[in-house]
Structure 1
Amino acid sequence: MSFYYVAKTFAVAPLVNTAFRPWVKGLDNVPTEGPAILTSNHLSFSDSVFLPVKVPRPVRFLAKKDYFVKKGPWGWTQKKFFEASGQIPMDRSGGQASQSALSAAEAALRDGALLGIYPEGTRSPDGRLYRGKLGVARLALNTRVPVIPVAMIGTEKVQPIGKKVPNLRRVGMIIGEPLHFDAYYDNTTDRFAQRAVTDEIMYQIMRLSGQEYVDLYAADVKRKLEQEKKAGS
């Protein structure tokens, strides 16, 4: 019996289902076996808890590398939890560091895993949906697995950015029909093809979530807001 199953069944799921009563629509769109990519909007740290609780299969997320390198007893505990539950550290600095994480994710998909990824690359700073990064398209085109759009609903109100203790309120998620990108399989390295695939994924997430779409990267918006905050202090 795996650590993932034990932690989910006997600890995480009972607590989450009791405290937050998460609802889900479209769960039958998640394949019962075989590789697939769950692509979700990202409103809260808690997104990576709510979705795996409702999906029967283990979900391996591309998780921010920071969660694996924090110091102290809590940092060590967090690192071991992420490792034991099969999460994959993602370095967002770009270049070879990011490519190594994508290669690990691709290997997981070729082993039949269900992979969770946030195409925006970071949490939304204001509840809107931001431009997707191309990594999700590279994974989808290289592995030719179905991409399943997911909309998290209301999780930003449970745990806004900067808030450690979550608010107790109901949340939901809508899982869309699998997307296939056969028309692009002969152009896996073409950035225009990768952008077209990514934009289609983001459109489907937007359609499910009802969020306003912003054609900017969330990380750039966060950086600008931080600069403005420092300038005004």
Structure 2
Amino acid sequence: MPDPARANRAYRNVARVVRPPMLAMTRRDWRGAENYPTDRGFIAAANHMTNIDPITFAHYLYDHGIAPRILAKSSLFTVPVLGKILTATGQIPVHRNTSDAGRSLDAAVAALEAGECVAVFPEGTLTRQPDLWPMAGKTGVARLALTTRAPVIPAAQWGPQDLLGHYEKLLKPFPPKRVTIVAGPPVDLDDLYDRPLDNATLREATERVMAAITVLLEEIRGEKAPAERFDMRRAKAADNGASVDPTQPPSSGTAPGAAPGGEPAP
């Protein structure tokens, strides 16, 4: 398993720049890292509330000797400076709804086969749930997990939204904010591996991942999530006076057989 001491030079250099301000701006409660495998590649899946989530989650993983390969929307790789950093540190671009979509899955599969950590935010974007509970996930994480049989380690984070508000652009660095991240045991997908990779299977696997993340977040917050998971497709359809076919899974944002969704901070 790659660790910071053996990560590429660009990753180490970025960590040297990013970690000091993160250490100054946060009070960290890191738990559950013993659930991450040390002998094989794995998928680290977390909830997504604010655009600083990828940095706090990467900080958590890096502090436990893991240099994550984060799935990020491809448009970020064209942003000056940021794009070069993402490329140099080995992050994986997600080409949504394009003919290049399959390349993202191929890159993620290759990373897992090489024993690396692929980090994803299964919701594919910031949650629209009003109280910041995880919403329905996209099926990309399920496709990646069922294709590779790599373990999916769920994690929940709470506190980054106090550092950078939901859809806000200005940091609130002081006073330092408490950021809690807790990882749990692997999501049980064993009974799904030999099933056809159809909509029902993808939906089931995706919901298991989101349920595991939600349980961890309930433990952190000390309260129960709503009984019904917020579904952005249904909310948009309701706003437009339409309906959603419940047999169809939330889109992965790519063509069938293509890449999982997920995006880091712009």
Alignment TM class, shorter chain as reference: 0.7 to 0.9
CA offset digits 1:10-62 (Å, max 9, x no partner): 22122212211222111111123420001111011111111221222100111
Match of 1:62 in 2: 71
Match of 1:231 in 2: none
* Contact residue 42 and residue 118 of structure 1 kept, 8 A: yes
How many residue pairs are counted as aligned between the two chains? 219
Match of 1:170 in 2: 178
Q: CA deviation at 1:98?
A: 3.5
Task: Please tell me the residue identity of whatever aligns with 2:32.
Answer: G
Q: How does 1:1-233 map to 2 (within 5 A)?
A: 2-8=9-15, 10-55=16-61, 56-69=65-78, 75-93=79-97, 96-125=99-128, 126=130, 127-168=132-173, 169-210=177-218, 211-212=225-226, 214-218=228-232, 221=235
CA offset digits 1:58-114 (Å, max 9, x no partner): 001111222112xxxxx3101001111111111333x64443322221222112110
Task: Please tell me the residue identity of whatever aligns with 2:76.
Answer: Y
1:129–1:202 CA distance, 2 compared to 1 (3 A) = same
Q: Distance in 1 between matches of 2:211 and 2:82?
A: 33
Report SS of the residue matched to 2:178: coil
Larger RCO: 1 or 2 (CA < 8 Å, sep 6+): 2
* Contact residue 141 and residue 188 of structure 1 kept, 8 A: no
Q: Distance in 2 between matches of 1:66 and 1:51?
A: 21
Q: Distance in 1 between matches of 2:183 and 2:147?
A: 23
Task: Please tell me the residue identity of whatever aligns with 1:78.
Answer: L
Q: When the two structures are superposed, what TM-score results if normalisation uses the length of structure 2?
A: 0.75
Report SS of the residue matched to 1:170: strand
Q: Distance in 1 between matches of 2:27 and 2:237?
A: 34
Q: CA deviation at 1:204?
A: 0.6
Structure (1/2) with the larger helix percentage: 1
1:104–1:165 CA distance, 2 compared to 1 (3 A) = same
CA offset digits 1:156-214 (Å, max 9, x no partner): 22212432221122211111112242211112523212211111111111101124465
Q: Which runs of 5+ in 1 are unaligned?
A: 70-74, 228-233
